[in-house]
Structure 1
C-alpha cells in the first residue's frame, strides 16, 4: 500500500512505525472473514481492511470525522485479523498508534470523555475498583436488570500455600482480578506449589497499562509499565525464572513492554527482559510434569473459551486445552473459537449493544454439547461470560486446583 503521511506524523517514531505497517497491507481481504464486527455489521468500514484505509486517510492528513472514529471505536482489538493475515500486518499496533494520535487531535463529545475518564481512573486503581465493586455487590439485589447481571457475585479465594520452594516465579495481581476473581492467582499458586514452585506477587505491581494504553492515554499506560518493571526487578535479579500471566489481557500487554519502551533509555533493557520472562500460565504448565497433580478420572465436560488475547495476541491457541486434557479434564466441543466474546477490555461498557450480540453468539458456540461448566483464561472474558451463561464460568486453573 502506498502512503504519503503528513510531515507532522512522518517526523514521529510512531508515525514511521504506522507507515511501515500500512505499506505491508496488500488489500487481500482475508481478514474480513475472521473479523467479528464485520460479520455482524457487514460494513467494509467495520472490518480490518476498511479501518486500515480510514487510519491511512487520517495519517495522510485527510478529513477525519466522528464517523471515522466511530468505525475505529467499534473495533474490538481482538486481532483475529492478524492470525489470518498472510502479509503479517500488525493491525493491533497500527490501531493503538492511530487511536492515540486521534485522541490528541479530535475532541470527543462531553459524555464520551467523562465515561472514558471514569474507566481510566477507576479500573487501574485496584483499591478504588474493589471498593466500588463491593458497594455494587451489596446493592445488587436492589438493582434492576440488565444492570444486575453486570455486577459479579462475590467470590472467595482459596488460601495461598505457606511453603516456599527453591524454584520461584512472579505473578501479576493486576487491578480488577484481585477483587472480581480473587481465586485465580490463589489457585495458580496452589497448583504450582504442588509442583514444587513458589509463585510470588510483587505488592507494588498493579495495572499492566492496557486500559489506559488501548483507550489512547499512552503516557499513563507507559508509566504503569515502568512501575511494574520497578516492582519486579529485584526478584528478577534474584533469579525468578518467569513472570506468569494468569490474565491473558495483561499477558498480551506485558509481552509488548520491550517494544513499547524500546526508546526509553532508562527502561529499554529492563522492559525487554521483562517481556522475555513473561509467559502465560498454560505455556508454563505445559512444560511441567503434571502427574503430581493426580487429576486423572475427573468426571464432567468443560467447554474452554480461548480469549482473543491468548490466541491472537500471544499466539497460544490450543495450549491451555493441552494442559487441561493432560490433567485429565474432558473438554466439550465448541464452534467458532476464533471469534470474540464481546468483552474486549472496556468494549462491553463502551459498545454495549454490539458486545451483547457477540456474547449471545459466543454462549451458543460454547454450549452446543451442554457442558457442565465453562473455563476461560482472562478475567474480563470470565465476568462477561458469566453475566449471561447458563452454566458456571471459572478460570481454567481452578479446575486443576483440587
Structure 2
C-alpha cells in the first residue's frame, strides 16, 4: 500500500511504525473473510481492510481536517482486536499495532462526549483493582435490580468458591498473575491451577504487588496508563525473576497475550526495555506449562464431554490454537466438534460492555456452535470469554483447568 506522509511526519516514531505496517498491506481483502464484525455487519469500514484505509487517511491528514470525524472512531471502536485477520493475512500485516496507533490518534483529534469519557473512566477504575472490583461485585449482587443492564448480565449469581491453595515448597517455582476481575468472578481458577501444578512438583510464588496487566487501559485507549501498569508489574516481579523463577503463569489468555507484548510496547523505554523483554520471554499460558509435563501420571477421571471455546487471545495472539484441546485429549476428555472455532465470542475485554448489541449477536452465534455437539459443559481459557458466554444462562461455562482439577478428585 502506498503512503503519502510528509517528511516532518516521518520524523515521528508512531508515523514511522504506521508507515512500516501500512506498506506491508496489499489490500487483498482475505482478512475480511474471517473478520467477525465484517461478517455480521457487511460494511467494508467494519472489516480490517476498510479500517486500514480509514487509519491511513487519518494519519496522513493534517491537524484540524474536517473529514476526520466521530464516524471514523465508530468503526475503529467496533473492532474486537481479535487478531483473526492477522492469522489470515498472507502478507503478515501487524494490524493490531496499527490499530493501537490509530485509536490513540483519533482519541486525540476527536474528543469523546463527556458521557463516553465518564463511562470509560468508570470502567477502568472499577475493573483494574481486584479488591475494589470484588467489593463492587458484592454490592452489585446485593442490589442487582439497580445495576445498569449492560453490567447486570456479567455478574455471576454465585461464583464457584476457591478451594485451598497448597503451601508446599518445591524446587521449581513460578509466578502467577492473579488478574484483576478473575479473583472476583472465578476465584477457583487460580486455586485450581496451584493445586494442579503442586501435583506436578511446581510451586507458585506470590507477587501480591503485581496488579492489572494493563490490557483494560489499552482497550479503553488510556495507553499511557497501561504502560504505567506494565512498569509497576515488572518492578513487582523483578526480585523473583532475579531469584530464578521459571515462568510467569497466566490463566487468562487475554492477560497472557498482553504480557507477551510488554517487550514491544516498552521497547523505547531505556529504563524498562530489557526488563520487559525478559518478562515477555518468561510469560507462559498455563497450557504451555502443562503440555510439557507427564500428565498421564495424574490419574484424571475424565468422564465429561466438553466443548472448548478457544479465545482469540490464545489462538490468534499467542498462536496456541489446538494446545488446550491436545492436553484435554491426552487426559482422556471427550471433545465435541465446534464449527467456526476461529471466530470471536464478542467478549474482547470491555467490548461486550461498550458494544453490547454486536457482542450479544457474536455470543449467541458462538454458543450455537459450541452447543451443537451436545456437550456436558463448555470450557474456555479466558475470564472475559467465560463470563460473556455464561451471561446467556445456557450451558455452564468454566475454565478448563478447573475441570481438570475437579477430575483429579
Using the size of structure 2 for normalisation, the TM-score is 0.95
| CA RMSD across the alignment | 1.5
* Number of the residue aligned with 1:37: 37
Give distance in 2, aligned partners of 1:144 and 1:204. Answer: 31
Give distance in 1, aligned partners of 2:312 and 2:87. Answer: 10
Name which of 308, 315, 323 aligns with 1:311. 315
Give distance in 2, aligned partners of 1:217 and 1:7. Answer: 28
Q: Do residues 50 (structure 1) and 54 (structure 2) align?
A: no
Per-residue displacement from partner, 1:126-154 (whole Å, max 9, x unpaired)? Answer: 22111111111222377697864322123
* Number of the residue aligned with 1:105: 109
* Number of the residue aligned with 2:381: 377
Are the aligned partners of 1:249 and 1:378 in contact in 2 as well (CA < 8 Å)? Answer: yes
Q: Which aligned pairs between 1:1-400 and structure 2 lie closer than 5 A?
A: 1-6=1-6, 9-61=9-61, 63-140=67-144, 148-155=152-159, 156-295=161-300, 297-400=301-404
Are the aligned partners of 1:194 and 1:292 in contact in 2 as well (CA < 8 Å)? Answer: no
- How far 1:214 sits from its partner (Å)? 2.6
Change in CA separation of 1:145 and 1:228 when aligned onto 2, cut-off 3 Å: closer
Give distance in 2, aligned partners of 1:221 and 1:146. Answer: 24
Are the aligned partners of 2:338 and 2:373 in contact in 1 as well (CA < 8 Å)? Answer: yes
Are the aligned partners of 2:213 and 2:259 in contact in 1 as well (CA < 8 Å)? Answer: yes
Give distance in 2, aligned partners of 1:167 and 1:309. Answer: 27
SS of the residue corresponding to residue 169 of structure 2 reads coil
Are the aligned partners of 1:342 and 1:358 in contact in 2 as well (CA < 8 Å)? Answer: yes
- How far 1:385 sits from its partner (Å)? 0.5
Change in CA separation of 1:144 and 1:223 when aligned onto 2, cut-off 3 Å: closer
Could you tell which deviates more after superposition, 105-114 or 70-79?
105-114
Using the size of structure 1 for normalisation, the TM-score is 0.97
- How far 1:200 sits from its partner (Å)? 2.3
Change in CA separation of 1:145 and 1:50 when aligned onto 2, cut-off 3 Å: closer
SS of the residue corresponding to residue 23 of structure 2 reads helix
Give distance in 1, aligned partners of 2:302 and 2:79. Answer: 39
Give distance in 2, aligned partners of 1:315 and 1:390. Answer: 29
Per-residue displacement from partner, 1:143-191 (whole Å, max 9, x unpaired)? Answer: 6978643221232101101211000111101111111111111100000
**Structure 1 unpaired stretches of 5+:** none
Per-residue displacement from partner, 1:305-334 (whole Å, max 9, x unpaired)? Answer: 000010001110000111111111111111
Give distance in 1, aligned partners of 2:121 and 2:139. Answer: 20
Give distance in 2, aligned partners of 1:142 and 1:68. Answer: 34
Are the aligned partners of 1:363 and 1:389 in contact in 2 as well (CA < 8 Å)? Answer: no
Give distance in 2, aligned partners of 1:326 and 1:379. Answer: 24
**Structure 2 unpaired stretches of 5+:** none
Structure 1 stretches of 4+ with a deviation exceeding 3 A read 6-9, 140-148
Change in CA separation of 1:145 and 1:277 when aligned onto 2, cut-off 3 Å: closer
- How far 1:370 sits from its partner (Å)? 1.1
Per-residue displacement from partner, 1:206-246 (whole Å, max 9, x unpaired)? Answer: 00001112322111100000010011111111111111111
